[in-house]
Structure 1
Amino acid sequence: MNESTNGFLVISLDFELLWGVFDKVDHKEKEIYFKNTRQVIPEILNLFSEYDIHCTWAAVGMLFNKNWEEWRGNTPNVFPKYKNSDLSAYHYGKSIQSPETEFLCFARDLIQQIQNTPHQEIGTHSYSHYYCLEEGQTLSSFKADLEKAIEMAKQMGIELKSLVFPRNQFNEDYLKVCYDLGIVNVRSNPTDWYWKDTQNDSLKNKIFRTGDAYIGPNNKSYKLTDLNIEKGKPLAQKASRLLRPYSPNKFLNDLKLKRIKSEMTAAAKNKEIYHLWWHPHNFGNNPDENVADLKEILDHYLACKEKYGFQSATMDEINKVMMV
């Protein structure tokens, strides 16, 4: 591998809609939130086109279904048997089926918009927002889940190359299965201690992760040479920073943006990778303000591109650079 002469901004989005939070919210209270999410995704795509941003959209496979009828016909041959059955998207889906809930759970139209936007990679967030570290699930049920996600994507002419583990439940034991099924990239977690053990989050971990958005060390980027290519495994690409939603507290919101821009500048100067991620539904509240925050970040990206040759890349494009 030749070390790159430029740094890279990598953006990956965990595209879930209701499948990502159904165990945490009452969907009836989130209808406006997800309507806003659906409306803001085309705005994000327009911004990405305007700024020539390359992005990986890790989409939950269930979103590829047109409706509940199609969803019922698309099930894997092995189901995850979580000890906590409330985590099962299959159990949950059966409980809310109606024409009124389809906009919360299916988004083939939005996937097509992403597909039709230049430089956008569609990756996977598993088929059912699968939890890879929860008690009761197995390697065989994970494989069946991923095979279904791949099948659904192929129906739209999409070849999945990149995966983001739901809830950041990164499972080393599952990497070979990913690779054998054609997944050559996975997003791994930041190395900070408060990103460990994501399935059993303590209050302390959550407090430190939130605080890290505003204060603390700024060494979040890394060099291409820090990525390790392991035979028979996907390339693990470490996340740098979660873009947290807009805060009405102007001081905190400005601090968050200042921190991201400072880290991006450091990555550009040092020819490193800065991997920013969030969920599109994080823009569901205050969508206009969140889009304005994103535009400010992208304006700064352009400044870094002009001054330091900073580049935008998808996860799979980083893989290809590694292979040069």
Structure 2
Amino acid sequence: MGTVVISIDAELGWGFHDYPAEQRPTERIARSRQGWKDLAETLDEYDIPATWAVVGHLFEHDCAGAHVGHPSPSGWFAHERGDEPMDEQFRFAPDLIADLVESDVDHDIGAHTYSHVEFDADYATDLLARAECDRATEAAEAAGVTMRSFVFPRNRVGHREILAESGFTCYRGTEPETTADGPYSAPLRKLAQATVVRDPPPLVEPSVDEYGLVNIPASLYLFGFEGPARRVLAATVGDPVVKQARLGIDAAAAEDGICHLWLHPNNLTTEADLDRVRAICAYVDRVRADTDLTVETMRSVADRVRAEDLSVA
């Protein structure tokens, strides 16, 4: 019996605050709150719990642009200050988080650091990583949320020992290396998978690392194949990512292992993007009803794996 896990990098404007202003994807940022709402409504409609890895700053109601004592790089919070700060609705989201907490679906509210720090970057000192964990945890607990799952910004894994010391129990690891043969670039591999390859995205197995954390690797990023090629294929053979996701869901229903899908709310900028998510959720719901497939969150997978590990010990 396999399972499907969906994890969500819930960051609004924080995912791009370290970009130069002229390089920020303004459409994705502008649509990020509506994308969050659409995604939450779709998951609720199909009774699918997900892990929402939330940037801790989004729990705040107001910080007046001041983060006294936070050991961040110079200018890290500059987008909150100056003559043209990023709009508050993309820096704060206690209302959106409250809706998740109050949902009838048992979502897992996890962490995506406090201010979207890349934990393996040169600037990410131990002191900064610990502060990011501490502040995210404190902001969540002030809202009545206890976080145990962790997703690294831009999937750059680092400082796992600090995660463990901060009370987290699991994290999303990176996707396994592709098995595609030949000297192909990543875009060509994606095109081949979308049009020719019949193999599903990899099912993954959670494992306990040396710090006692459960690593739950990703299987498929739902918005990794975009642009004109996607639009052409969608018009001729259907959405290639939906096809890949269905193959992974079918594999999980037939075997042991996890099909771990992930995305950002800010990926949902068009009706076609939302249609992709709705089609995948509807398929999960249909297969779950006809098989032994389960849907879990990262937190529930970690609880199960840790319990099994203790029983073996």
Other structure's SS at 2:256 match: coil
Other structure's SS at 1:79 match: coil
Distance 2:237 2:15 in 1: 26
Normalized against structure 2, the TM-score is what? 0.84
Name the structure 1 match of 2:248: 263
Seen in structure 2, the aligned counterparts of structure 1 residues 29 and 128 have a Cα distance that, compared at 3 Å, is closer
Any unmatched runs of 5+ in structure 1? 1-5, 195-203
Structure 2 residue 157 is the aligned partner of structure 1 residue 175: no
Distance 1:209 1:185 in 2: 30
Q: How far did residue 298 of structure 1 move?
A: 1.4
Q: Of 306, 313, 316, which residue of structure 1 is paired with 2:296? A: 313
Matches within 5 A, 1:136-155: 136-155=123-142
Deviations 1:138-187 (Å, cap 9, x if unpaired)? Answer: 1121111110111100110111101100011012xx11211111100110
Q: Bigger shift: 60-69 or 111-120? A: 60-69
Matches within 5 A, 1:121-140: 121-140=108-127
Name the structure 1 match of 2:200: 218
Normalized against structure 1, the TM-score is what? 0.81
Deviations 1:64-96 (Å, cap 9, x if unpaired)? Answer: 222351x52x45x44134xxx6xx632333346
Checking the alignment, whether the CA contact within 8 Å between 2:35 and 2:267 is kept in structure 1 is no
Seen in structure 2, the aligned counterparts of structure 1 residues 188 and 253 have a Cα distance that, compared at 3 Å, is farther
Name the structure 2 match of 1:280: 265
Distance 1:23 1:253 in 2: 35
Q: Of 52, 77, 80, which residue of structure 1 is paired with 2:72? A: 80
Checking the alignment, whether the CA contact within 8 Å between 1:11 and 1:314 is kept in structure 2 is yes
Q: Of 89, 93, 97, which residue of structure 2 is paired with 1:107? A: 93
Question: Which structure carries more helix by proportion?
Answer: 1
- Computed over aligned residues only, the root mean square deviation of the Cα atoms, in angstroms, reads 2.6
Name the structure 1 match of 2:214: 235
Q: Bigger shift: 112-121 or 7-16? A: 112-121
Name the structure 1 match of 2:81: 94
Distance 2:239 2:38 in 1: 22
Q: How far did residue 213 of structure 1 move?
A: 5.8
Distance 2:147 2:22 in 1: 29
Matches within 5 A, 1:1-40: 6-24=1-19, 26=21, 33-40=28-35
What is the number of equivalent residue pairs in this alignment? 294
Checking the alignment, whether the CA contact within 8 Å between 2:14 and 2:116 is kept in structure 1 is yes
Q: How far did residue 220 of structure 1 move?
A: 0.9
